[in-house]
Amino acid sequence: MSTRFCLLTLFALLFGSAQAELLPSKITQVVMLGTGMPIPNPERSGPAVAIVVNNTPYLVDFGPGVVRRAAAASPKYGGSIAGLDVTQLRTAFLTHLHSDHSAGFPDLILTPWTMGRDVPLEVYGPEGINEMAGHLLEAYQEDIRYRLYGLEPANNLGWRVNTHTLEEGLVYSDDNVKVEAFRVKHGAWPNAFGFRFTTPDRVIVISGDTIKSDTVAEYSKGADILIHEVYSTAGLMARDNAAWARYHEHNHTPGADVGELASRAKPKLLVLYHVLLWEATGDQLLQEVRESFDGDVVIANDLDVY
């Protein structure tokens, strides 16, 4: 038995359980287009994540500001992600129908079309997504008619929307990605989902809005990146508001619970988004998470890339 083999075996025994490191990828990039909440913080657009595989973008949620954040990430406006040219925004997944996650829907339908998208938008969402899309198209029918039949050289495809109602399980696949949907508990919403994306070189899980969930933990086991919503317990306590405390207990996940979940799932990187701090600081929130999770964790900002 060689000395080198013995050393490698000893290294594996001593360090085999250590947290794996997330390595850069030339195939898959995760771009945080929006990391905020309903609070109109100008530094945090509404929730939206782009998973870009081989320069093809797949959106999860489309909160306020989604198209402009995508444009900012594209080379046309000084960014580095070629796949986020707005005309390439063609496939999107919606975790649930809350307005902070979906208020960018008309923008996602219409702006890429006016910029030249020439295929329908494909949207996968909970029950009600078909009605939401239909009502939006009805609301903007005069705009669509004017662009189609006026002097503007608009095509007759890019404004259209094909909706697909989600169920649990495999909901989408192509040469770049496999997308699985799983149910989460978000207050009284009857249909709220998280997603697991499997690309050629990464597994990415997005929690959506949820309380602490064993389902999220199960789907996140061994993931390269877990993107999870979070609020600070210290910040909530500082507010001393019983109504808001009760609401968050039944709708969202405190930092300590996110850390405990991540300690079971062991993602290479834990990314915190949909962040609610109130009077707490980012360092306080990270301390809450790190009470039970010793892996890599970051608080995402808009336009961060992983």
What positions carry a catalytic annotation?
100
Query: Alpha-carbon distance 209 to 47, whole Å?
Result: 10
The radius of gyration of the chain from alpha carbons, rounded to an integer in Å, stands at 20
CA 155 to chain centre: 30
> Half-sphere exposure of 301 toward its Cβ, with a 13 Å CA cutoff?
3
